[in-house]
Structure 1
Amino acid sequence: MQLILIVPFRMQMWNLNTYLYGPKDDLKHRLLWREVYSAEEEAQLKALVCEAVSRGLTFVYALSPGQDIVFSSSWDLTLLKRKLRQVSDLGCQAFALLFDDIDHSMCQSDTEAFSSFAHAQVTVANEIFHFLGEPPVFLFCPTEYCSSLCTPSVSKSPYLLTIGENLLPGISVIWTGNKVISRELSPESLAEVQSVLRRPPLIWDNLHANDYDSRRVFLGPFKGRPPGLRAHLRGLLLNPNCEFEANFIPLHTLGSWYKEGKEEGKGESRMEDRSTGALASDEIPADPVMNQDLKAGENQVSRSFSHEKTPRRGLCSGSVPLSEAQVRLLVGLYYLPHEHGPPAQNLLQDLTWLKANCHCVSVEEWRDRAGRFLAACDDVALLHSAVVNSINRALLYDLYPYIWDLRNTLLVAKAFICWLGERDTSSGAELHGVEAEPWVFKGGLSGEVQEVLLYFHEEQDYPDSLLYHFPSQLRLEALPELVDCSVSRSLLTALLMALKANSSQGVFCEVQPTDGLRIEFLTKLGFLEILRGEARPREGVVLGRLL
């Protein structure tokens, strides 16, 4: 009901014109795509369609049958038509067939019926397009939907070449850019795919999508899309955060980007009627407009979305708006997938520098930077309290897990820096780069802070041959009063399973030769002695286990 009541209204305010429906929590969108909607589901979907139409929005219904469809099966094709006809009867006039994130392999009957995987998809898409009366908006998401997924390249991909040659010209093709989550979109790369597809692509922009990491949310602006892009696009759809309230600034700046592009494009030929999404032809607006967008975001996240007046009942009832500085800090901590905002950058830089130079704790520069880092940690703790006490309860419910996680992580980091100030040691750490897809680096700012803390340990002198077969090291401690070992056994078993699930092939643990109880405990869990003290400077016994 939240979508029905709020999304169309908000999109109209933000100058956006298209909403694509394809939620992952609708099982009948992907997993159970063959099943029609019940009467109750029909009513809810129809209400959303009607609300969007009344607001002047194009409502696109997306279906993802690619996981298990048999392309050559007349029965599957009949079920697909039945499903889309049901939605069409609800007033929907725009559709999308999605074949993303599926295996390229075909069953035996499909192999006999079609010359290639692309040929099978195109055949079904073209038939459905005709069946629905060739609607003005019909989208097709290919399995190779970005440059990094194309084999061997965009221009030489047999799959994309088949799509471009055989897909009917009235069907738009979805594209995400160079990667699944593209930091930037260039006219050059889009011109290349346009040539292959024989039509301008429709961008499915994952810049603010956060469904791949439960510890990250992106509150930053829509950016990284340079001037001249509109000439190479049939449309643009922004895939937002899973949390509804987190999307105000992303969508507001997208709307500003679109509006600016339309104003600059006055007098030029208009895009085709089938174009969808928020189209634009210029980079993010200049600073004054950006400030206006951010100010609108501040006003939005600082107040309640309810129009009802409620009595003030103290902080616990949520009656204090966030300040401008707090909103800017919040956005800076949860900025974009490929870049942190200034507050997050400063936190990471200071923490990394303080750890790498902790042998100089008595130096004034170290003390000054430590003080600045500790103050920044305190600011995040205050931000946590402000969000908890904010008048905007909807924002609190959506963002609380993220700010709680970061607050607690920085409490550990703060204690760590205070501890460093009392000892003299050294260790270095480097943060990962950002050339890979963002989901490679889990946890966002909180994860990177934990990574810096995690790699602080004394250098260990273990042979390369040991680390090659047993890359994970375990340190096991138990309270002296522990009598029942079943709890420790269960925890260690869960840890070993987690290491295996994360591709570790072996784990080792060093214990003292005199610690008979611990050696016996590990031996019962499959650990074997692989290295003794006489083979290395240290005196411990190393036990290891392959996973």
Structure 2
Amino acid sequence: MEQRTELFKREQKWGLNTYLYAPKDDYKHRMYWRDLYSAEEAKQLMALITAAKQHDVEFIYAISPGLDITFSNPKEVAALKRKLDQVREFGCRSFSLLFDDIETEMCQADKQVFSSFAHAQVAVTNEVYQHLGEPETFLFCPTDYCAAFCTPNVSQSSYLHTVGEKLLPGIDILWTGPKVVSHKISAESIEEVSSVLKRAPVIWDNIHDRPTELIPKLRGVLTNPNCEFYPNFVAIHTLATWCKATADGGPKDVEMGDEEQDPCYSHQKALTLALTDWLQEFLSTDQPGGRKESSDEEPMQTDMGENLFYLPYEHGPTARTMLQQLDWLKNNTEWCSRAQQFDDMCDAVVQMFNRLSNAPNRSILYDLYNYICDIKSGVGLARAYVKTLGGQGRPSAQLMNDDPEPWGFRGGLSGEFQRMLPGHGNRDLFRHPPTTAVYCIRPYCPDDKMEVQRIFREMQSAGEGKVPLVAQPPLISGEISPSPQCALVLEDELGMCGYALALTDAKPAAAKIQVIKMLEEFPSLITIQMLPRVTDPSPAKRMIGQLLSSIRSSGSRGAFCELRHSDRRMLDFYTKLGSFKPIEVASLPRDVIAMATSL
């Protein structure tokens, strides 16, 4: 919250005027959207909204109900209105409904009321917009928020046409361009989507460098920040320069580079201005008394050299030169002088790392440290390899594993270097790239009982202990049916490979043991299991997220699961989720551990 307030100060200083609040770490923004904020949470949000007003920044509160809302249920719509009414009481006057990154299949109840998924979204959005008194700023994020998601294309998308025709004209629509992260957004593509939506879009951007000819064709631009606060400086600073360059027809002192085509704006000039200001932040101390450098440390410097970093789709000039040099060194034999040049460039990267490490402003350093360490290690590998080619070192026996772990490769410049070293070439992570597994999550039906039992038995036989779990067998065997909306199965190309079942009231399943005290605090039971061939944890996380949401909607206060001590895989899974904690239950067998989460 403190960093967001600091961001408002920067926005005011640079001439930006809007902030969209939609953080994934606010669970009441998305997963638990129905829940009202507590007194402490309300205090924080009110302070944030007040701070935005003080710095002339429009605070837009966004909510994402699309994971599990039933559009046709008046109680659900009432819950959405109640939540936004609460935020309005905090002083917020601008809102946004987000339906991005959700499943597009409607439930049976919605299919009986609405003609399409777009129709359902638009109906609820219009109703909420009117309930709030038709705010001056109200944003809608469609599920098809870029051209790549549209079927068959933008101009023929029935989804977008429904949104354009039925969404009230005072509501603005978010759009990311041709792709989620669009390399280029053309004026023609904006004209096309504007025609379908019957209004100019608001670009929700993931890159921060666009031609100024887009400005008159847009309702606005929002830029997605990095998760770390300090590395956002350049992106937001250059966005502000871009906006100023178009406000009065362009600054008179813009010097055009050879690559420039925009008469109003120079991205190289904007980058230089941003870096110049940012370097001053590196030199400011962020702790009382600062941090003095010892005589043997390399001092932080402010010379403006060539750039390693640039935009997601391209490297800076120095990085491009280094990649070209390494490619040449791999394929030529007479190369001593070129090898020395490459080594000098590698040394310059190490110096950059040392200088940044000695920056007085430690907060910026901590946000950047993982990235610059990554670059340094990638350059170090390439440097060692070139020395080996020149006979200056012995090849490392473990320079590159034939079958590296996925985390052995990184993105960006470091990943480029690693891919150029022996053993991989363009194959990236794997010697033989595997086909991506496609998983299907669907509701459980009675015919699935035999397969669920087979998976349960298979995983039981793989464990060290054979003691039956206390509460799960009645649910697995079919003696007790899962609660409504609380049973899912996972399938891949070979068939069923996992399940997730739940009881909102676990008393029938746990009737034979004395766990009444536990059930008062955690009345619901969850059981989830994946076959070993499911190596991706994402499907399991998604299923358990849906179960917890359904259990919470039923009014349950908490949920528990039972695991064997020998089932290290599932214990690790629940532990890494973060919300489940081990609990003491005296009546459980020694081989069984209970974990629970409050809802």
TM-score, normalization by structure 1: 0.70
Matched, 1:260 2:245: yes
Taking the aligned partners of 2:292 and 2:59, their CA distance within structure 1 comes to 40
Contact 1:52–1:59 at 8 Å: present in 2 too? Answer: yes
Using a 3 Å threshold, how does the CA distance of structure 1 residues 319 and 348 change in structure 2: closer, same or farther? closer
Contact 1:174–1:203 at 8 Å: present in 2 too? Answer: yes
Residue 302 of structure 2 corresponds to 323
Contact 1:320–1:391 at 8 Å: present in 2 too? Answer: no
Taking the aligned partners of 1:393 and 1:315, their CA distance within structure 2 comes to 19
User: Which amino acid letter does the alignment assign opposite residue 274 of structure 2?
Assistant: D
Residue 342 of structure 1 corresponds to 317
Residue 232 of structure 2 corresponds to 247
| Secondary structure of the structure 2 residue equivalent to 1:228 | helix
Using a 3 Å threshold, how does the CA distance of structure 1 residues 17 and 287 change in structure 2: closer, same or farther? same
Cα deviation, 1:479-529, whole Å, max 9, x if unaligned, reads xxxxxxxxxxxxxxxxxx899659xxxxxxxxxxxxxxxxxxxxxxxxxxx
1:354 to 329, 341, 347: 329
Residue 418 of structure 2 corresponds to 450
Contact 1:3–1:48 at 8 Å: present in 2 too? Answer: no
Taking the aligned partners of 1:498 and 1:246, their CA distance within structure 2 comes to 39
User: Which amino acid letter does the alignment assign opposite residue 304 of structure 1?
Assistant: T
Using a 3 Å threshold, how does the CA distance of structure 1 residues 394 and 338 change in structure 2: closer, same or farther? same
Matched, 1:76 2:76: yes
User: Which amino acid letter does the alignment assign opposite residue 263 of structure 1?
Assistant: D
Unaligned 5+ runs, structure 1: 208-221, 267-280, 424-440, 458-465, 472-496, 503-547
Taking the aligned partners of 1:315 and 1:23, their CA distance within structure 2 comes to 43
| Secondary structure of the structure 2 residue equivalent to 1:390 | coil
User: Which amino acid letter does the alignment assign opposite residue 417 of structure 2?
Assistant: V
| Secondary structure of the structure 1 residue equivalent to 2:212 | coil
Aligned residue pair count: 412
Residue 174 of structure 1 corresponds to 174
**RMSD over aligned Cα atoms:** 2.9
Residue 369 of structure 1 corresponds to 338
Taking the aligned partners of 2:44 and 2:107, their CA distance within structure 1 comes to 36
Question: Structure 2 matches for 1:372-411, cutoff 5 A?
Answer: 372-411=341-380
User: Which amino acid letter does the alignment assign opposite residue 284 of structure 2?
Assistant: R
Residue 415 of structure 1 corresponds to 384
| Secondary structure of the structure 2 residue equivalent to 1:339 | coil
Contact 2:212–2:242 at 8 Å: present in 1 too? Answer: no
User: Which amino acid letter does the alignment assign opposite residue 174 of structure 2?
Assistant: I
| Secondary structure of the structure 2 residue equivalent to 1:411 | helix
Taking the aligned partners of 2:373 and 2:73, their CA distance within structure 1 comes to 50
Using a 3 Å threshold, how does the CA distance of structure 1 residues 226 and 256 change in structure 2: closer, same or farther? same
Shift of 1:283: 5.3
1:314 to 270, 290, 294: 294
Contact 1:284–1:290 at 8 Å: present in 2 too? Answer: no
Shift of 1:105: 0.5
Unaligned 5+ runs, structure 2: 252-261, 393-408, 426-430, 437-531, 538-599
Question: Structure 2 matches for 1:46-125, cutoff 5 A?
Answer: 46-125=46-125
Question: Structure 2 matches for 1:463-478, cutoff 5 A?
Answer: none
| Secondary structure of the structure 1 residue equivalent to 2:204 | strand
Using a 3 Å threshold, how does the CA distance of structure 1 residues 311 and 386 change in structure 2: closer, same or farther? closer
Using a 3 Å threshold, how does the CA distance of structure 1 residues 128 and 338 change in structure 2: closer, same or farther? same
Taking the aligned partners of 1:25 and 1:455, their CA distance within structure 2 comes to 40
Taking the aligned partners of 2:369 and 2:295, their CA distance within structure 1 comes to 16
Matched, 1:24 2:27: no
Taking the aligned partners of 2:433 and 2:235, their CA distance within structure 1 comes to 45
Taking the aligned partners of 1:59 and 1:43, their CA distance within structure 2 comes to 16
| Secondary structure of the structure 2 residue equivalent to 1:299 | helix
Cα deviation, 1:268-325, whole Å, max 9, x if unaligned, reads xxxxxxxxxxxxx97533765653333223323343356x553636379x99433224
Using a 3 Å threshold, how does the CA distance of structure 1 residues 311 and 296 change in structure 2: closer, same or farther? closer
Contact 1:4–1:51 at 8 Å: present in 2 too? Answer: no
Cα deviation, 1:187-233, whole Å, max 9, x if unaligned, reads 111000000000000000111xxxxxxxxxxxxxx32x123212210
Residue 149 of structure 1 corresponds to 149
Taking the aligned partners of 1:448 and 1:255, their CA distance within structure 2 comes to 31
Residue 285 of structure 2 corresponds to 304
Taking the aligned partners of 1:469 and 1:290, their CA distance within structure 2 comes to 40
Shift of 1:36: 1.2
Shift of 1:3: 2.7
Shift of 1:349: 1.5
Contact 2:176–2:206 at 8 Å: present in 1 too? Answer: yes
Shift of 1:25: 1.2
Cα deviation, 1:136-189, whole Å, max 9, x if unaligned, reads 000000011111111100000000000000000000000001111112221111
Cα deviation, 1:28-87, whole Å, max 9, x if unaligned, reads 111111111111111111111000011111000111111111111112111111111111
Q: Once the two structures are aligned, what percentage of the paired residues are identical?
A: 46
Contact 2:290–2:360 at 8 Å: present in 1 too? Answer: no
Taking the aligned partners of 2:33 and 2:108, their CA distance within structure 1 comes to 22
Cα deviation, 1:462-484, whole Å, max 9, x if unaligned, reads xxxx979999xxxxxxxxxxxxx
Using a 3 Å threshold, how does the CA distance of structure 1 residues 289 and 242 change in structure 2: closer, same or farther? closer
Shift of 1:375: 1.4
Residue 278 of structure 1 corresponds to none
User: Which amino acid letter does the alignment assign opposite residue 280 of structure 2?
Assistant: N
Taking the aligned partners of 2:154 and 2:4, their CA distance within structure 1 comes to 39
Using a 3 Å threshold, how does the CA distance of structure 1 residues 265 and 160 change in structure 2: closer, same or farther? farther
User: Which amino acid letter does the alignment assign opposite residue 392 of structure 1?
Assistant: N
User: Which amino acid letter does the alignment assign opposite residue 253 of structure 1?
Assistant: T
Cα deviation, 1:398-433, whole Å, max 9, x if unaligned, reads 00011111211221211111111129xxxxxxxxxx
Contact 1:388–1:396 at 8 Å: present in 2 too? Answer: yes
Taking the aligned partners of 1:78 and 1:109, their CA distance within structure 2 comes to 17
Taking the aligned partners of 1:498 and 1:442, their CA distance within structure 2 comes to 25
Contact 1:304–1:394 at 8 Å: present in 2 too? Answer: no
Cα deviation, 1:105-126, whole Å, max 9, x if unaligned, reads 0111011110000000001100
Taking the aligned partners of 1:42 and 1:171, their CA distance within structure 2 comes to 26
Higher relative contact order (CA 8 A, sep 6+): 1
Shift of 1:5: 3.4
User: Which amino acid letter does the alignment assign opposite residue 346 of structure 1?
Assistant: T
Taking the aligned partners of 1:286 and 1:76, their CA distance within structure 2 comes to 46
TM-score, normalization by structure 2: 0.64
Taking the aligned partners of 2:435 and 2:213, their CA distance within structure 1 comes to 52
Shift of 1:4: 4.3
Contact 2:238–2:270 at 8 Å: present in 1 too? Answer: no
Taking the aligned partners of 2:250 and 2:328, their CA distance within structure 1 comes to 48
